[in-house]
Amino acid sequence: MCSTIQTVSLGMGCFWSPEALFGHLPGVIRTRVGYAGGTAKDPTYRRMGDHSETVEIDFSPDIIRIEELLEVFWEHHNPVNINDYKGRQYRSLVLYRDEKQWDAIQRVIRQRKEQGKGEPQTEAAPYSGFYLAEDRHQKYYLKRYPDAMEKLSALYRDEKELVNSTLAARLNGLAKGYTNLERIRNEIARWPASLEERTRMIDLIQQIRW
Ligand code: MHO
């Protein structure tokens, strides 16, 4: 138990949905979206250069393994080379952090091939930096619910802390329809926080008008 938190970055098209998709999974601790995989300095949404839209995922390998994240990744996009469309913006991309992650990528690809799922044209490259996207892109679906954002603001010091929270990751998944309140409530009950904090979170999310 308690192995250290790992991080992986994935590109699979417009980053709004992947953030909600991975954010809803128990074991995922934090998500954020940004630009990575290229060489251009200080990319922005308007000037992304050779970077791709990516979601960066912090996860606890005790609860969810990288292999499971990779299965979700390949099941939820068409990993073809779409280099011609908008440059590398929507590239299928995995940025791995170490040799173990690289091995896991190869293992999952091999298994999927054996299952007849074909070979993904995903680019796998060593992580070499990540540029956080603009605030408006972080937790994009959750931000479509102003009442949720307002109620959540009572729990966090500022919006940055709010959007970086595990709770925001889950609720962003909920806003996109990947999970439901019941599952989130049950999960919070198992989080390593004080009873008071957990009760506060659960009370608060019950009051949100979706
Ligand atoms: N369909 C979306 C994609 C945005 S995503 C951050 C749009 O063009 O508005 O690439």
pLDDT of residue 82: 60
Please answer whether residues 133 and 15 qualify as being in contact, where contact means their C-beta atoms are separated by less than 8 angstroms.
yes
Q: Of 16, 77, 89, 144, which is best to mutate to test ligand 1, by the most ligand atoms within 8 angstroms of its C-beta?
A: 16
The Cα 31–Cα 64 span in angstroms is 14
Query: How is the chain split into domains, by residue range?
Result: 6-134, 139-207
Take atom 4 of ligand 1 and give the residue whose Cα is closest.
Answer: 14
Query: Collapsing DSSP states into helix, strand and coil, what is residue 46?
Result: coil
Query: Collapsing DSSP states into helix, strand and coil, what is residue 193?
Result: coil
Our answer to whether residue 2 is catalytic in this structure is no
**CATH 3.40.50.720 is right for the domain spanning 6-134:** no
Q: Residue 6 to residues 60, 118, 144, 186: CA-CA distances in angstroms? A: 6, 28, 29, 24
* pLDDT in 10s for each residue of the chain, 210 residues: 457 999 999 999 999 999 999 999 999 999 999 999 999 999 999 999 999 999 999 999 999 999 999 999 999 999 986 656 677 999 999 999 999 999 999 999 999 999 999 999 999 999 999 999 999 999 999 999 999 999 999 999 999 999 999 999 999 999 999 999 999 999 999 999 999 999 999 999 999 999
Take atom 5 of ligand 1 and give the residue whose Cα is closest.
Answer: 14
Helical ranges in the chain per DSSP H: 16-23, 66-75, 99-114, 146-152, 159-163, 166-175, 181-188, 195-207
Compute how many other C-beta atoms are within 10 angstroms of the C-beta atom of residue 131. 16
The Cα 71–Cα 36 span in angstroms is 21
Please name which of 139, 115, 116 lies closest in space to residue 18, comparing C-alpha atoms.
Answer: 139
Ligand 1 pocket at CB < 6 A:
14-16, 53, 137
pLDDT of residue 83: 56
Global pTM? Answer: 0.96
Take atom 9 of ligand 1 and give the residue whose Cα is closest.
Answer: 14
Please answer whether residues 140 and 34 qualify as being in contact, where contact means their C-beta atoms are separated by less than 8 angstroms.
no
Structure tokens at 169: 């990751």
Which of 1, 5, 10, 14 is labelled catalytic?
14
